[in-house]
């Protein structure tokens, strides 16, 4: 492995049969927060997202819209997927589309390699298939003939296909998960994978012959490669899988592979934790370090989805609450790895108490007091030992939690520090201290400690809420310390960074009251 290996994180690539909803945004925002955090740890980072464009589901949607599948995909990617990620401030380094040549060629080469090595054979598939999942189903996956995930009838397929000897990898996969528990998280997901592997694992049909929207099987061009086999490879094709070691792609691959984290929803865990590593093992390529399965956003107790008409677009929320509150809410309110119900009431309550009151008000009160009592300038450097010590602990707790994908734990630690700073201001009562000019030194101390705490809060919350923290950074006159995104997590708790004399400026309110935005 290259010594300067990047921290490489991926999201699933999304089907382009429709525009993104908040379930998709949940995964992508989590990936964005985690990669921003790692960048602020000073690591080299590579963050990939993209779109899954082949298969029956996308083809059917394009046809029912009287559009050619490629045109449909181009339109959706340009008008919906890329703009939504931009609106949500997603800082991905690359965006892969499975219809791109860089992907299709590498997929064909990979498959040919598996065939040459004896991992592929001809067979007949007979059984149920869910187009919503794009998955060959087992009897236990169905409920009265319907897919349990989509509550829709399955198709009965009977096709001559090419098969991948998945069953040959059961032993190595079990060994892998038993000796590397961190390779599949949380523990509930790992247990599910292990018990699946301990059951009957069948070989996998990896081609389809009844439609042509896919990548042709290189030695049998009447068949297209099964959409999941094609899609899973995106994580590796995007960074140069199979390229000569000294080529550009080969160097990129050495720098990024294996992926550090594949973020996925729990519905697509088996593809990522069983089929994908088996494909890689067959090809002699390193398996990903971690597959992390998060839970579902529920609406009315069920998985939120467009096909069940419970889909909510990110803009439905951001138009009232703003992008930062959207990013904050889902990661703070739901333990990553568990299901969580979305409700407007909970969103509004947290917005008001945690963001507008605890964080936003603290910032606006401090700026107003520095304007009023200190002629707009950050006072002399001071140090409150209790706040400083607690900040050191906060940074450690938050860093440990976020690196372990416990976003809720990490944000809780940061917001607890914010509460502590509020408590400090309440107890010290700077507005009372200010009444007597003889107390100026004491007043300056209180205001410096508060400003310095806000500097730290801005940096720690930047990965979660890039926009408001940037505003706060400007407002505190902290730009002389460099760009906020360049501030290192490991240095946040070095007390006394905000230079005395920096000019503060009033900004617009960080989190406007909800009555005002509606």
Catalytic residues: 21, 24, 130, 133, 147, 150, 303, 306
CB closest to ligand MSP, residue no: 265
- Indicate the helix (H) or strand (E) that contains 254: helix 248-256
DSSP structure string for 367-418: HHHHHHHHTTB-------HHHHHHHHHHHHHHHHHHHTT-HHHHHHHHHHHH
Residues facing 265 on adjacent strands: 294
Q: How far is the CB of 443 from ligand MSP (least distance, A)?
A: 49
Phi, psi (degrees; rounded to nearest 5) at 13:
-90, 135
CB 163 within 8 A of CB 268: no
Instruction: Give the CA distances from residue 109 to residues 376, 432, 517, in Å, rounded to whole numbers and listed in that order.
Output: 64, 74, 53
**How is the beta sheet containing 184-185 ordered, strand by strand?**
94-97, 45-52, 7-15, 261-265, 291-294, 184-185
Residue number with CB closer to ligand MSP (279 or 297): 297
Angle, CA 411 vertex, CA 405 and CA 417 arms, to 5°:
140
Residue number with CB closer to ligand MSP (13 or 492): 13
From the list 192, 136, 138, 188, the residue with the least C-alpha distance to 164 is: 136
Length of the chain: 518
Query: Beta 261-265 vs 216-217: how paired, if at all?
Result: unpaired
Q: How far is the CB of 259 from ligand MSP (least distance, A)?
A: 12
Query: Beta 204-205 vs 155-164: how paired, if at all?
Result: antiparallel
Q: How far is the CB of 237 from ligand MSP (least distance, A)?
A: 11
Residue number with CB closer to ligand MSP (264 or 492): 264
Residue number with CB closer to ligand MSP (235 or 511): 235
From the list 228, 231, 232, 252, the residue with the least C-alpha distance to 242 is: 252
HEC sequence for 134-154: CEECCHHHEECCEECCCCCEC
Cβ-Cβ contacts under 8 Å for 512 (sequence gap 6 or more): 356
- Answer yes or no: is 103 a known binding residue: no
Q: How far is the CB of 56 from ligand MSP (least distance, A)?
A: 12
Residue number with CB closer to ligand MSP (312 or 404): 312
Residue number with CB closer to ligand MSP (12 or 430): 12
- Answer yes or no: is 133 a known binding residue: yes
Residue number with CB closer to ligand MSP (311 or 360): 311
Q: How far is the CB of 447 from ligand MSP (least distance, A)?
A: 43
DSSP structure string for 24-89: HHHHHHHHHHHHHHHHHTT--EEEEEEEE--SHHHHHHHHHTT--HHHHHHHHIIIIIHHHHHHTT
Q: How far is the CB of 17 from ligand MSP (least distance, A)?
A: 8
- Answer yes or no: is 418 a known binding residue: no
Q: How far is the CB of 235 from ligand MSP (least distance, A)?
A: 7
The dihedral through the CA atoms of 137, 138, 144, 145 has a sign that is positive
Q: How far is the CB of 302 from ligand MSP (least distance, A)?
A: 9
Phi, psi (degrees; rounded to nearest 5) at 159:
-140, 150
- Answer yes or no: is 184 a known binding residue: no
Residue number with CB closer to ligand MSP (233 or 382): 233
Residues in contact with ligand MSP by the rule CB under 6 A: 12-15, 23-24, 26-27, 52, 231-232, 234, 264-265, 267-268, 296-297, 303-305
**How is the beta sheet containing 220-225 ordered, strand by strand?**
207-208, 220-225, 216-217
Residues facing 95 on adjacent strands: 49
Buried-exposed string 58-78: b where 16+ CB fall within 10 A, e elsewhere? bbebbeeeeeebeebbbebbe
Annotated binding-site members for Zn(2+): 130, 133, 147, 150
């Amino acid at each position: 492995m290259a010594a300067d290996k990047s921290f490489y994180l991926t999201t699933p690539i999304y089907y382009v049969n429709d525009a993104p909803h908040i379930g998709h945004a949940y995964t992508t925002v989590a990936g964005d927060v985690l990669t921003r955090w790692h960048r602020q740890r000073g690591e080299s980072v590579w963050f990939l997202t993209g779109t899954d464009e082949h298969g029956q589901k996308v083809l059917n949607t394009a046809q029912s819209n009287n559009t050619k599948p490629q045109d449909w995909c181009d339109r959706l990617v340009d008008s919906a997927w890329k703009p939504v990620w931009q609106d949500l401030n997603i800082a991905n380094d690359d965006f892969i589309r499975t219809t791109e040549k860089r992907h299709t060629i590498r997929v064909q080469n990979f498959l040919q390699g598996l065939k040459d090595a004896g991992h592929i054979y001809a067979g007949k598939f007979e059984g149920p298939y869910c187009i919503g999942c794009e998955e060959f189903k087992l009897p236990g996956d169905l409920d009265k003939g319907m897919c349990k995930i989509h509550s829709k009838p399955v198709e009965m397929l009977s096709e001559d296909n090419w098969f991948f000897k998945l069953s040959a990898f059961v032993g190595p996969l079990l060994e892998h998960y038993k000796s590397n528990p961190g390779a599949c998280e949380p523990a509930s997901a790992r247990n599910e994978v292990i018990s699946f592997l301990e059951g009957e694992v069948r070989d996998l049909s990896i081609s389809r012959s009844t439609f042509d929207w896919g990548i042709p099987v290189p030695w049998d061009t009447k068949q297209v490669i099964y959409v999941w086999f094609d899609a899973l490879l995106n994580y590796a094709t995007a960074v140069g899988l199979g390229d000569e070691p000294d080529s550009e792609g080969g160097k990129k691959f050495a720098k990024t592979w294996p992926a550090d984290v594949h973020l996925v929803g729990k519905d697509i865990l088996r593809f990522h934790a069983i089929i994908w590593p088996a494909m890689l093992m067959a090809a002699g390529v390193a398996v990903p370090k971690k597959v992390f399965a998060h839970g579902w956003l529920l609406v009315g107790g069920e998985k939120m989805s467009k096909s069940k008409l419970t889909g909510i677009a990110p803009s439905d929320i951001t138009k009232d609450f703003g992008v930062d509150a959207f990013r904050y809410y889902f990661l703070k309110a739901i333990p990553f790895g568990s299901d969580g119900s979305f409700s407007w009431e909970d969103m509004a309550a947290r917005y008001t108490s945690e963001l507008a009151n605890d964080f936003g008000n603290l910032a606006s009160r401090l700026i107003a007091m520095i304007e009023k009592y200190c002629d707009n300038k950050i006072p002399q450097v001071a140090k409150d030992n209790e706040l400083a010590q607690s900040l050191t602990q906060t940074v450690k707790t938050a860093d440990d939690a976020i690196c372990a994908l416990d976003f809720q734990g990490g944000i809780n630690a940061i917001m607890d520090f914010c509460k502590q700073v509020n408590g400090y201001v309440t107890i010290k009562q700077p507005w009372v201290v200010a009444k007597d000019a003889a107390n100026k030194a004491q007043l300056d101390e209180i205001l410096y400690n508060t400003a310095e705490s806000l500097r730290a809060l801005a940096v720690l919350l930047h990965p979660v809420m890039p926009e408001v923290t940037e505003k706060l950074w400007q407002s505190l006159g902290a730009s002389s310390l460099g760009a906020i995104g360049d501030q290192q997590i490991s240095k946040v708790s070095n007390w006394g960074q905000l230079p005395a004399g920096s000019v503060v400026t009033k900004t617009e309110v960080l989190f406007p009251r909800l009555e005002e935005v509606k």
